[in-house]
Amino acid sequence: MKPRDIAEYLFLALSWGLSFLVLLKVVAGFGWVGAVTFRALVASATLLLAARLCGRRLSFQGLWRPLCVVGATTVAGQLIGLCYATPRIGTAMAAIFVTAIPLFSMLIGRFWGLERISLSGLAGLLLGFSGMLLLVGFPAVPVTDEFLLGCAASVFGAVCAAFGSNYASLRLRTAGSWEVTSGAFLVGGLLTLPLLFWVPPPAPPSALDYLYLVLSGSVMSALNYVIYFGLVTRIGATRTISVEFVVTVVAVLAGAGLLHERLSLVQIGGAAIILCGCALVLNLLPLRAKAQA
């Protein structure tokens, strides 16, 4: 990779890894529904405003139907899972569950006939799901209804993200990254907006809460996704999505160092198994090359 690619890769890892800490602040200020809705709308508005200021013309003709699906899954579904789960299971576990997205993505892609599952991919799937069982089955905190709901929400968010990614690659392959990102976030924000009637913000947000919200929506959503899609174009989707591994490491270290979160030894082993499984699914381990040699 070129120096620019390395710099952007590391920026994504640090930004998304620390975003779990910012997410906790946004959820505390706006509630988990408000965190989803306002973050998505701020992200969309940021991109639309930036495009206008840069003179970049965005065309959404023929895109709104698939954007509704991507917005409902990759944006609304995934953010609902994250925002609901993170305060209940901690940033470290929430980040580890995010790494399961490639596992679900391969299953969905295989079911739709978009890709085949190789032997290494099948081994990765089995490893990944066994790691998730260890992660949930041997927690470092008491197993309560809230904890189990948080784990279920994390899995729900990962499945939504995987579904939306496959759908986007199938239906939005020729669309621009700015159109896909801004349109999907707009749809996701509008879809979750009515939920504020049932889950309003717990109290009037402070100025610092709004600062965290803008940081979450403008930088950690809008800017990061533009950088992400740029890396996909230059270095490929597989190498780019591997950034989730580094994101998990950053989030776990941040949760342990700044929030004093604890993970059991069995959970740490489960996390390592999930990472190895995802590496096999993404074909990042040079097993085939070694076998041929």
Tell me the C-alpha distance between 27 and 213, whole Å. 9
Residue-range domain boundaries for the chain: 3-288
pLDDT along the chain (293 residues), means of 10: 82 89 94 96 95 91 92 94 92 82 80 73 75 69 86 93 85 84 94 96 94 94 84 68 76 80 77 77 58 44
The span from the CA of 152 to the CA of 158, in Å, is 10
CA distance 142 to 11: 35
152 closest CA partner among 85, 221, 95? 85
How many CA atoms does the CB half-sphere of 42 hold within 13 Å? 20
d(CA 62, CA 26): 34
The answer to whether 227 touches 11, Cβ cutoff 8 Å, is yes
Tokens 């729900």 sit at which residue? Answer: 156
Q: For residue 205, what are the CA distances in angstroms to 24, 189, 192?
A: 14, 19, 19
- SS (HEC) of 151-167: HHHHHHHHHHHHHHHHH
DSSP class of residue 100 equals T
Count of Cβ atoms closer than 10 Å to residue 69 Cβ: 17
- Tens digits of per-residue pLDDT, 143-163? 789 989 999 999 999 999 889
pLDDT tens digits along 101-147: 877 887 887 788 766 767 777 777 777 778 777 776 666 667 789 98
pLDDT at 292: 44
